[in-house]
Amino acid sequence: MTKSEVTLKCHKIIGGCGEGEALVSHEPICFYLTNPKTGVVRERTHELYGKNLAGKVLVFPSGKASSVVQIDGLYKLATNGLAPQALIVKDVETVLVVSAFLVKVPLVDRLERDPFEVIHTGDFVRVDAEKGKVTVSKH
Amino acid sequence: MHLTKEEEKILKGELGEGTQKALELLVAIGDAYDAEKMISISRAHAASSGQEGDLYFVELLAKGGARCEVPTSTNPVYDLDFFDRRFPVPKFEGGVAHKVMEAYEKVGAILSWSCTPYMAENIPLYGETVAFSESSATPYVNSVIGAKTNREAAQSALAAGIIGKTPLYGLHIRENRKGTCLINVKASLKDEFDYTLLGYAVGKLVGYGIPVLTGLSRQPTTEELINFCAMSNVPGAISMFYIPGFTVEASTVKEAFQSDKPKDKFTITDSDLKNVYKELQTTSGKIDFVMLGCPHYTLKQVEEAAELLKGKKLHKGVSFWICTSATTKLLAQRAGLVGTIEKAGGNVVVDTCIDEPCWVTYYGGVGMTDSPKCAYYRRFKEAIVSRLEDCVEAAVEGKWK
């Protein structure tokens, strides 16, 4: 197996480092619609339905739903130790910034290449928000 | 983002950990939007909710010695003592709500516990720069009053209230306040419930954006505008809208679009509103309770409810609740309205809303309300949504149609 690695510049919003297996969602995510005790997405119509967010580097276009439920959703996951390791988004908004800030999960956007082209579910991704770097390893 | 010397000091923690955390959050939001600097705000509204994430942040600020720099009001939570005597309130949630309310008191917030603070407790002026969370308050402040606020989270609004500043981005910038789509309203709008349906229809149609509405034949009332704001944020995210000629910031369609062309054009007719009405009903027949005041009822609405209930007796099996602010209840008591409602068997409750776990006792029941927002939270099993008169009629009969 050949291993390839690519490092991309990104824009830090919430600092810190996180690494793990990538989980890519092409649809917006509402953290409230995950099971807070397992981290599994319970939104039936969502492409990640049944997938587990815990410990993953989550790549998604944006957040959705009301501020109260979004923040509470990620907060509950984090209290149970089930938050994603890092968040890579395309369109960030206030509520998502607040959510990531409260649970201290690194949040970055503006990758120098389209994250949906470079990162695929199962890749190993390391996010160093402080240095503004995302490293993607494929096996 | 450019920070002043004073802001740098706060960020280093020289003025305490509470203000440091508040500013850290504001800077993160500013970074996300490439804001060039912070701007001063004159007031804020924190959509406190009595949930754990809410508690964590407000306690962090309170323990860190932070106090509100500008008037900062609060959203409904609930009075645990009041509910504990009536219903089984889950212990853990009750404790969280109680602590949230204490922490907001510690940071020196206005303890309004109301989702319509712009009516009495914390009123922005035209042109003011503010930070108002609560999805129904944001569009009211931007569009009806003509002050400027972004769509805030509870925590970002609280942080702004603590520091007295917010990053310069979004709806604080004139170009971002222009209309995105044009909606020709061909429906006949008679009363506030029609505006409820219109709000819901607009939110569903637009999703995220700034609609510009034409075709309205008269100036909408305060209550009609409150309903429009609240319901357009149930299926959508409408932080601002224009009704040229009636709302303050643009007197013509051209002005609302800042001379640009609308990206989309829609028409809303009577049959669209009828469809929304149908979509909102999940059942009919016997009801267990009526829940009004989402958003909090105004004095005029409490008066209308009292008028309808005068001399009537509510059905034995039906509980009847009106949620409002402490200010409104006081005025309603003075006018004898609360007495009339209680005599019929109803209740007027302050400081809370349907989206709180204090109502757990009704979760399995059939609820009737005049608010799709109240029904959407679905803290109860089945929902019937109709005008106030219908809700009162059903509460007396014990059933609807």
- Domain span holding position A59: 4-138
Interchain CB contact of B176 with A (< 8 Å): no
Shortest Cα–Cα distance, B51 to chain A (Å): 7
Question: What count of other Cβ atoms lies within 10 Å of the Cβ of residue B1?
Answer: 17
pLDDT category of residue A67 using cuts at 50, 70 and 90: confident
How far is C-alpha B166 from the chain's CA centre? 21
Tell me the count of A-B CB pairs closer than 8 A.
74
pLDDT at position A100 is 96
Nearest CB among A74, A75, A101 relative to B25 is that of A101
Please say if the pLDDT value at position A1 is more than 60: no
Q: What token pair was written down for A33?
A: 């619609």
pLDDT tens figures, B161-197: 999 999 999 999 999 999 999 999 999 999 999 999 9
In chain A, residues with a C-beta closer than 8 Å to the C-beta of B49 are 68, 72
ipTM associated with this complex: 0.90
Nearest alpha-carbon partner for B76 in B130, B141, B154? B154
DSSP helix/strand/coil, B184: strand
**Phi and psi, residue B228, nearest 5°:** -55, -45
CATH number of B281-400: 3.30.499.10
- Identical fold, B5-173 and B281-400: yes
Nearest CB among B32, B52, B54 relative to A76 is that of B52
Nearest CB among A12, A14, A98 relative to B156 is that of A98
Catalytic residues of A: 66
Q: What is the CATH number of the domain that holds A88?
A: 3.50.30.10
Min mean pLDDT across B133-147, B286-300, B331-345, B353-367 is at B353-367
The percentage of chain B sitting over the pLDDT mark of 70, rounded to a whole number, equals 99
Interatomic CA distance for residues B369 and B384, integer angstroms: 6
Average pLDDT over residues B290-304: 98
Q: What token pair was written down for B371?
A: 């608010």
Inspect the interface and report whether the beta carbons of A72 and B151 lie closer than 8 Å.
no
pLDDT tens figures, A20-55: 999 999 999 999 889 999 999 998 889 999 999 999
Interatomic CA distance for residues A124 and B41, integer angstroms: 43
pLDDT at position A24 is 98
Interatomic CA distance for residues B40 and A92, integer angstroms: 23
CATH number of B5-173: 3.30.499.10
Number of domains in chain A: 1
Which bin fits B143, alpha (ψ -120 to 50), beta or left (φ > 0)?
alpha
B355 beta partners: none
* Nearest-by-CA chain B residue for A95: B153
Please say if the pLDDT value at position A66 is more than 80: no
Sign of CA dihedral B272, B278, B281, B287: positive
Residues of A with a Cβ under 8 Å from any B Cβ are 11-14, 66-68, 71-72, 74-76, 79, 92-95, 97-99, 101-102, 109
Interatomic CA distance for residues B325 and B341, integer angstroms: 16
Interchain CB contact of B272 with A (< 8 Å): no
Interatomic CA distance for residues B155 and B28, integer angstroms: 12
Give the H/E segment covering residue B296: strand B289-297
Q: What are the extents of the domains in chain B? A: 5-173, 178-278, 281-400
In chain B, residues with a C-beta closer than 8 Å to the C-beta of A93 are 32, 151
* Nearest-by-CA chain A residue for B31: A13
Nearest CB among A67, A94, A102 relative to B47 is that of A67
**Phi and psi, residue B340, nearest 5°:** -60, -45
Inspect the interface and report whether the beta carbons of B28 and A14 lie closer than 8 Å.
yes
